[in-house]
């Protein structure tokens, strides 16, 4: 059974940094296709970033481009989201999800809360 577990969320001041992790189990991680999706409190879903290990493609929402970096580690079976220059509007629950072209966002983690506040 595939399981995704996010960690690394917390309270950070505007302008600060955080690195989120997503540990993957129950499935091979040699080739991975993964996204980060976030949800601000009481709001809808916003796709943030995607990575394909097979093509090397990474892509970002305009709202985070140049500030966030997605990456993965096959050996550790983990996905990461490095978040720099954080803004108040980045406050959200961040979910990692498997994102295969044929079946998008087919498995989600439980989410980790990031709060950006002074």
Partner 1 sequence: EIVMTQSPATLSVSPGERATLSCRASQSVSSNLAWYQQKPGQAPRLLIYATSARATGIPARFSGSGSGTEFTLTISSLQSEDFAVYYCQQYIKWPRTFGQGTNVEL
45 binds partner 1 (CB under 8 A): yes
Options 14-22, 41-49, 68-76, 78-86: segment touching partner 1 (CB under 8 A)? 41-49
Single residue of 59, 74, 85, 117 touching partner 1 by CB under 8 A:
59
Given the complex with partner 1, which of 60 and 71 has the nearer CB atom? Answer: 60
The bridge status of strand 45-52 relative to strand 103-108 is unpaired
Burial of 83 (0-12, 13-18, 19+ CB in 10 A): buried
CA distances from 82 to 17, 67, 85, 103 (A): 8, 8, 10, 26
- Binding of partner 1 at residue 113 (CB under 8 A)? no
Instruction: Output the smallest distance, CB 118 to partner 1, in A.
Output: 27
């Amino acid at each position: 059974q595939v399981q995704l577990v996010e960690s690394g969320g917390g309270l950070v001041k505007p302008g600060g940094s955080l690195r989120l992790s997503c540990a993957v189990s129950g499935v091979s991680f040699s080739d991975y296709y993964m996204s980060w999706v976030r949800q601000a409190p009481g709001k809808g879903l916003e796709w943030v970033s995607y990575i394909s290990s097979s093509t090397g493609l990474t892509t970002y929402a305009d709202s985070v481009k140049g500030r966030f970096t997605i990456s993965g580690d096959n050996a550790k079976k983990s996905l990461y989201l490095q978040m720099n220059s954080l803004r108040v509007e980045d406050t959200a629950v961040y979910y990692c999800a498997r994102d295969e072209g044929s079946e998008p966002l087919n498995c989600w983690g439980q989410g980790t809360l990031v709060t950006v506040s002074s």
